[in-house]
Amino acid sequence: MKSQTSSWDYARWSVGIGLLIMGVGLLLIGWSDLNNVMALWWMLPLMSVCAFAAASCRDWARHAAALSRCNAEADARHDMRRALAEQAARSQVEQQQAGKFAALEQLEHAIRVSQIVIWQVDTIRQEILFDGVHVGASDYLPEKRTYQGNGWFERLHPEDRPGVIERFADFLKGRTATFEHEYRIPDERGHWRWIISRGFVVERTANGHVTLAAGSHIDIHLRKQAQLTLHQERSLFDVGPVAVIRYVLDDTRRIDFASKNVAKLWRYPRNWTVVGKSTSDMVPEEDLAVTRPAIMKALSEGRNGVERQVRLRMGDGSLQWFLMRGVFEHEEGKVFLRAYLISIADHKAVEVQAHQHRARLEQLIAQLNDAQADGVTLQDSSDLLNTAANYEEAFKVVRQAASRLFPLWHGSLSATRDDGSLWQVGQWGEPPPLAETFRLDQCWGLRRGRAHSYMGNGMHLCCEHLHAPLGFKLLPYLCLPMAANGETVGALHLFAAEELSTQELAEVESRAERFAETLKMALSNLRLRNSLSDRATRDGLTGLYNRRLLDQRLPIEITRCAQQQMPVSLAMIDIDHFKRFNDTWGHEAGDLVLQTVGHLLMDKTRVYDLAFRYGGEELVLVMPGCRLDDALIKLDQIRHDIEALSLSFRAEALPTVTVSMGVAETTGGSPETLLRRADEALYQAKRLGRNRVHAAEARQNKASEAHMEGSQA
Ligand SMILES: Nc1nc2c(ncn2[C@@H]2O[C@H](COP(=O)(O)OP(=O)(O)OP(=O)(O)O)[C@@H](O)[C@H]2O)c(=O)[nH]1
């Protein structure tokens, strides 16, 4: 300390002051008085004492001053300390207060940020005070609001309000220790938001009734929405349209999980379960063959899942389309497929419908194109038919046009004869066995005067001119009558090569009617022309072709058949003992016999065969394409039929009429030789006893033919 004085200082001060007093004493008494020098010796302690005293006095003074200063300083320090203490105390209070304020601010901030609303209920005042950030969607507004009475509850969602009121009443009446409930309140925009409200008791009466309670609201909207969505999704899988199954991707394909709704959705009994079954039990084999490789491919490519359309077997046995979204799950070294399945039956039905519409449209376009092509074909056919000289030419045109118009159909053309019956002009493809001649009433189309369609399903009548053998499966066919100028001129017959629908048959019928329309005028013209020509070519008594026509036609038929490597057989027919008959029964009766035999010949022979009156009672039958053996059989039948005739003239029975026949065959030989050989054979038949058929032998034929042709040359 600077103010402290050491005893050494006192000593220094004492010596100094003593020396000073002694000097002053010497000056006063003078150096001359050395007697008094001794006196100085005693003055020394005195001076020292004086100096000491002086020094002490100075120290005392200094001490006193220092003490005084110290006291003052001490007082000052005390004051300062007190002031500092007071200051510190004040600061502490201030700090405490400041801390409190900061904490409150932080709390308030935290409340605002966390969207917590603090509430306080005063049951005595019947009011609820809210403090904090009002729950809102985006623009939060600080709110300090008091609701009186039920003002707050009226803001709640109507569905939640009764529950909240009930629970809050329980809480206020002390029935529950705390209040906790989730409900909806409106936000600033009027949208409902979920909150959770929790409360606790602050004060209560002696009987337990709450007088003051406090609590908080916390916005749980997002969580609640997520909860609701999850719940909805879960219920979707349990009662909704999506079925969930899981099965192991090994050879068993065993299903180990299924949602509750599977039985209902798949139309199985309520207690039925798919768990434990294999996917093979549910999916048809052909679908499995495609779906399984697709699933395994997706797995091998490391995908998370797979999406397929599959058909599942329903409880009622039907197959229904489903969209399957599968997710792979790996568990305990096994791979499972969790499949979410939703019916796409409606979608598929629409798809099928759309496909049908598209197909129908394409069909219509095709029909339009076909119709245009048909129009061209019909026009061409019409032109050609009008120039056809005879039925054969007409038939060629018809066959060609029909093959183009009805490529998958076989057919036949019939024409009307003078007696009203019909004969087959020709046929193409492979129609069922048909009568070569038939009556008009044997065809339903001709009978009714309109197209007759036969579906082969037992619903339609089959025409009699079809001679389908027993067990023959008759496919759909059409008969289209053709009438012109008030008379039937013929019929077009079309036979399907395969089963077809009613719709398809109707379409062909419509087209065939147009074809028949074109055809009928040509047939009518042809018939008229033929009738005029018949008068020049037919024998007036018998109706058979005359010899002039035989001379024209025989070479044509031989050449035509030879081109197709076919023979022509020719029969010369002569009525036995006709002279005698005439002589006995008269010439008119003889005419009747000739006429009857002529008609029988026309009736009993094919349409291709040509019967001529060669001269007198001699008739000739030309059978193109007919071998000698077949001709013999046919001729013998005719001979028999003639013999079986029972004729009467003027109510008088005529005797049995018999004929003799000689037949020869040629392939490309001359007409004259053929006629001659047939005549020779006839001669033989007469010679052998009549009423018989005699054939020129094949070898002899050849030799004789060669010889005769050689001699003619
Ligand atoms: N009624 C009728 N008789 C005819 C006609 N044309 C020919 N005749 C007769 O037919 C007869 C032919 O007789 P013949 O050639 O002698 O032969 P046949 O009496 O039939 O004796 P065979 O032929 O040997 O069995 C003659 O009496 C002719 O008058 C005809 O148009 N009408």
Q: What is the pLDDT of residues 519-543, one digit of tens each?
A: 887 788 777 777 666 777 889 899 8
Measured CA to CA, the distance from residue 639 to residue 282 in angstroms comes to 75
Percent of all residues in the chain with a pLDDT value above 70, rounded to a whole number: 78
Is residue 180 predicted with pLDDT exceeding 90?
A: yes
Q: Which of 599, 597, 622 is nearest to 609 (CA)?
A: 622
Is residue 360 predicted with pLDDT exceeding 80?
A: yes
User: The tokens 């002569």 sit on which residue?
Assistant: 574
pLDDT mean over 63-86: 64
Instruction: State the ipTM, two decimals.
Output: 0.97
Contacts of 356 (CB under 8 A, 6+ apart): none
Instruction: Provide the mean pLDDT of the chain.
Output: 82
Ligand 1 mutation pick, 539, 542, 572, 578, max ligand atoms within 8 A of CB = 578
Which one is predicted more confidently, 457 or 292? 292
pLDDT mean over 199-204: 90
| Catalytic pick among 557, 617, 665, 705 | 617
Q: Buried b / exposed e across 175-203, counting CB within 10 Å, b at 16+?
A: eeeebebbbbbebeeeeebbbebebebee
What is the structure's pLDDT at 76? 62
Distance 618 CA to ligand 1 centre (A): 8
What is the structure's pLDDT at 712? 38
Contacts of 618 (CB under 8 A, 6+ apart): 572, 573, 574
Q: Whose CA is nearest to atom 26 of ligand 1?
A: 579
Is residue 451 predicted with pLDDT exceeding 70?
A: yes
- With the C-alpha atoms ordered 134, 137, 141, 142, is the resulting torsion angle positive or negative? positive
CA angle at residue 365 from 360 to 368, to 5 degrees?
125
Q: What is the 3-state secondary structure (H, E, C) of 117-151?
A: EEEEEECCCCEEEEEEECCCCCCCCEEEEEEECCC
Q: Whose CA is nearest to atom 21 of ligand 1?
A: 577
What is the structure's pLDDT at 60? 56
Which pLDDT band, with edges at 50, 70 and 90, does 20 fall under? Answer: confident
What is the structure's pLDDT at 64? 56
User: The tokens 């969209």 sit on which residue?
Assistant: 323
Most confident option among 413-427, 458-472, 638-652: 638-652
Q: Whose CA is nearest to atom 22 of ligand 1?
A: 577
Is residue 398 predicted with pLDDT exceeding 70?
A: yes
Tell me if 586 CB under 6 Å of ligand 1. Answer: no
CA distances from 413 to 88, 395, 487, 494, 495 (A): 134, 7, 17, 9, 12
Tell me if 574 CB under 6 Å of ligand 1. Answer: yes
pTM: 0.37
For the ranges 207-221, 263-277, 354-368, the lowest mean pLDDT is seen at 354-368
For the ranges 263-272, 425-434, 586-595, 601-610, the lowest mean pLDDT is seen at 601-610
CB 468 within 8 A of CB 433: yes
What is the structure's pLDDT at 111? 63
Is residue 699 predicted with pLDDT exceeding 60?
A: no
Is residue 547 predicted with pLDDT exceeding 50?
A: yes
Distance 632 CA to ligand 1 centre (A): 24
What is the structure's pLDDT at 633? 96
* Ligand 1: nearest atom to the Cα of 589: 1
What is the structure's pLDDT at 706? 42
Q: What is the 3-state secondary structure (H, E, C) of 641-654?
A: HHHCCCCEECCEEC
pLDDT mean over 173-199: 88
Is residue 81 predicted with pLDDT exceeding 70?
A: no
Tell me if 687 CB under 6 Å of ligand 1. Answer: no
Query: Could you confirm whether 618 is annotated as catalytic?
Result: no
What is the structure's pLDDT at 15? 64
Distance 610 CA to ligand 1 centre (A): 22
Which residue stretches of 221-344 are H helix?
221-239, 262-265, 279-282, 285-300
Q: How many CB atoms lie within 10 A of CB 102?
A: 11
pLDDT mean over 486-498: 90
Ligand 1 mutation pick, 579, 619, 691, max ligand atoms within 8 A of CB = 579
Which one is predicted more confidently, 6 or 148? 148
Tell me if 705 CB under 6 Å of ligand 1. Answer: no
Q: Whose CA is nearest to atom 14 of ligand 1?
A: 579
CA distances from 80 to 65, 72, 83, 84, 566 (A): 22, 12, 5, 6, 156
Tell me if 539 CB under 6 Å of ligand 1. Answer: no
Which one is predicted more confidently, 293 or 109? 293
Q: Which of 352, 425, 429, 347 is nearest to 391 (CA)?
A: 425
Tell me if 557 CB under 6 Å of ligand 1. Answer: no
What is the structure's pLDDT at 393? 83
Q: How many CB atoms lie within 10 A of CB 526?
A: 22
Which pLDDT band, with edges at 50, 70 and 90, does 703 fall under? Answer: very low
What is the structure's pLDDT at 698? 64
Distance 700 CA to ligand 1 centre (A): 29
Measured CA to CA, the distance from residue 356 to residue 503 in angstroms comes to 14
CA angle at residue 208 from 203 to 209, to 5 degrees?
70
Tell me if 616 CB under 6 Å of ligand 1. Answer: yes
Distance 579 CA to ligand 1 centre (A): 4
For the ranges 335-344, 527-536, 670-679, 690-699, the lowest mean pLDDT is seen at 527-536
Which pLDDT band, with edges at 50, 70 and 90, does 704 fall under? Answer: very low
Is residue 144 predicted with pLDDT exceeding 80?
A: no
Tens of pLDDT along 315-351? 999 999 999 999 999 988 999 999 999 999 888 888 8
pLDDT mean over 222-232: 79
Is residue 558 predicted with pLDDT exceeding 70?
A: yes
